[in-house]
Amino acid sequence: MSEHDPATIGIVSISDRASSGVYEDKGLPALKDWLARALRNPLTFQERLIPDEKERISATLIELVDAGCALVLTTGGTGPAPRDVTPEATLAVADKEMPGFGEQMRQVSLRFVPTAILSRQVAVIRGKSLIINLPGQPKAIQETLEGLKEDGKQVVPGIFAAVPYCIDLIGGPYLETDDAVCKAFRPKTAIRAARA
């Protein structure tokens, strides 16, 4: 028996071309790799590769929340192009919007590219699940989750530092991070004592 709570995480790559086999999806492997390194919990992944279709995206998010995913991460479909409908599909299933996540992702990405202001990622809560839209590129996924470090010091916080405490607050599993990848922040009163 693990000392860490098991967690089920939904990961969704949204791409017309990858879902139809035109090219290999890079989003799902990048998400799985990062989460496996960042979290110490035993993880179960629910993976989906779907086209940029608003109703399909919304239905997939609802399905993953209903399947018990405490966290659902999407990648792709957040730009200004006509087919980019991930934020609209995500907001359509929301109980609450969490605007700080999108704001911080754009802050991180602006350190690299001026076109980060074109990204429209959102985060929402549905039931006891946190749903976050991430950028489409594996490098940008890692940067927004981890933030920026210079000489081993955190210069710009990544969004994942706030994810475990958010999931605590909505009734999900106690997520524990590997500090070398991403140190989660919790108020002292919310930190669980190590189990013997």
Q: pLDDT tens across 131-155, in order? A: 999 999 999 999 999 998 888 788 8
Structure-token match 């549905």, residue found: 126
Q: How far apart are CA 36 and CA 192, in angstroms?
A: 21
pLDDT tens for 30-66 read: 999 999 999 999 999 999 999 999 999 999 999 999 9
pLDDT at 195: 60
**Which tokens go with 142?**
């890692």
Residue 124's contacts (CB-CB under 8 Å, 6 or more residues apart) are 90, 91, 93, 94, 95, 96, 97, 98, 130, 131
Does residue 196 have a pLDDT over 60?
A: no
Percentage of residues of the chain with pLDDT beyond 90: 89
Query: What domains can be seen in the chain, in order of their start residue?
Result: 7-190 (3.40.980.10)
pLDDT tens for 72-114 read: 999 999 999 999 999 999 999 999 999 999 999 999 999 999 9
pLDDT at 187: 94
Tell me what the mean pLDDT of segment 9-36 comes to: 95
